[in-house]
Amino acid sequence: MLLSEMITSLDCRTENMKDTDISTIEYNSGKVVPGALFIAIRGEHHDGHDFVVDAANRGAAAVMTERRVEISLPQVIVSDTRKAMGTVARTFYGSNGMLKIGITGTNGKTTTAFLIHSILDEAGMQPALIGTVYYRGKTTKKAVMTTPESLDLFKMIADFRREGSRAVVMEVSSHALSLHRVDELRFKIAIFTNFSQDHLDFHKTLEEYRAAKMKIFSLLENDGCAVYNYDDPVSREIERLRLPHRITYGTRNRAIVLAELLQECADGLDIAILCKGEKSVIHSSLIGRFNIYNICAAFAAGIALNIDRATIVAGIEKLQRVEGRMQQINDGIFVDYAHTPSALQNALEALRPRVCGKLVLVFGCGGDRDKAKRPLMAQIASTGADVIVITTDNPRRESPRNIIRDIERGMTTENYVVIEDRRQAIEYACSQKGHGDVLLVAGKGHETYQIIGEQVVHFDDAEVIRECITRS
């Protein structure tokens, strides 16, 4: 595609303009090949403008920047390269022909995405999935981030379309909504699961965080449908948007998709869903009554897409588990991604009915992230667990000792020990687990790494637990 065609809708100025043919787009100079347009974006730790010369040396045909750079290549200068990247990516790769479902909210995005993916698969739509755990089309890749950069999204969607996918289910993070990663996408369904405290290191206030999440509804197609949790207080704010097409779900408050828990048992949940006068009974293998809301959200999405109810139910029941989400590793031992106060509370409450002895918890908090939630999670641990092992999560550049100290300030009981090394903490908890006890290792879930300083080292909670079981 010609450079002039790619930038026609941008508010920009140009230097050394030559209408060259562009073969691909990159924002990582290390991936630049001859004929590429290199886009210099500013990240948390690096500025792409510092790599323009490297991109040129690798054969870039043109560059996009936020300021003039001394270089002989054609240069497109815009006020915000991250925002402009989505525009040129849409022009270059397109996104038509794919039904897109976006899911935001503090908790439940991943499980809801997996449930909807299963429903669409049951409906024969060959769906793709983009989220915290996987990027899945015909092949499955471990996710790098919940919602990739706009350029990566459009590349993925183009690949999915070529593979025959008719729909893509996406988790949409508040970071993505704030950083323009999804500005150029339009969703057929936009889902808001719930809202509680998280990411205040980035958003600074709950109001700013909520506003970022709410932005998803501005990205609906003209006939798109909003789906949201009517039991969550944020629904009152969504109601004020007066969205023309919407489906509410919940367990009370006259939601359109209304769920009732029939039975919570060892192998999952039996629930009844009443929608528009029809009742559907579902058995789900997912553990924890909080999953009723995730199931409801998926059911509502299916209704919004006019999928028949038998297919919706079959799709929900087909999903056996979600990696790292209340995942049972062994009898009475669970791993969960719970890293927010509300998620940790949900996980502990879900496991309490299974406990005949003690409920043992291993948890920590991430470094360089929302510090205000550390004492809140400690308070929930204090009241929700019988034995607590405080450890590291992903400390990143922050001192693990300082993080643990912040957690300890919120502890309201003395039923805890501190073991900074996460492997040793898990090993200790496994050794302490007795007959009738239940162990929850929380915070990292599906992750197979730990970030310590600048290093990313292999670490898998489930793997460590299995090693402990083998040795015992």
Annotated binding site for ATP: 105-111
| Binding site members for meso-2,6-diaminopimelate | 369, 393-396, 443, 447
From residue 404, how far is each of 24, 368, 395, 419, 429 by CA, in Å? 46, 13, 10, 10, 17
Q: Please write down the HEC assignment for all residues of 258-291.
A: EEEEEEEECCEEEEEEEECCEEEEEEECCCCCCH
DSSP string, 338-366: --SHHHHHHHHHHHGGG-SS-EEEEE---
Distance (Å, whole) CA 176 – CA 102: 11
For 436, other C-beta atoms within 10 Å of its C-beta total 11
Strand partners of residue 327:
335
- Report residue 468 as tokens: 């402990």
Distance (Å, whole) CA 131 – CA 266: 28
Q: Is 191 helix (H, G, I), strand (E, B) or coil?
A: strand
From residue 306, how far is each of 189, 243, 302 by CA, in Å? 12, 19, 6
From residue 5, how far is each of 96, 101, 102, 154, 294 by CA, in Å? 18, 29, 29, 17, 42
| Residue 70 Cα to chain centre, angstroms | 39
| Binding site members | 29, 105-111, 146-147, 173, 181, 369, 393-396, 443, 447
- Nearby residues of 176 by Cβ (< 8 Å), 6 or more positions away: 146, 147, 182
For 375, other C-beta atoms within 10 Å of its C-beta total 18
The Cβ-side half-sphere exposure at 338, using a 13 Å CA radius, reads 29
- Report residue 54 as tokens: 């490297």
| Residue 445 Cα to chain centre, angstroms | 12
Contact indicator for 243, 217 with CB cutoff of 8 Å = yes
The Cβ-side half-sphere exposure at 324, using a 13 Å CA radius, reads 20
* CA R_g for the chain: 24
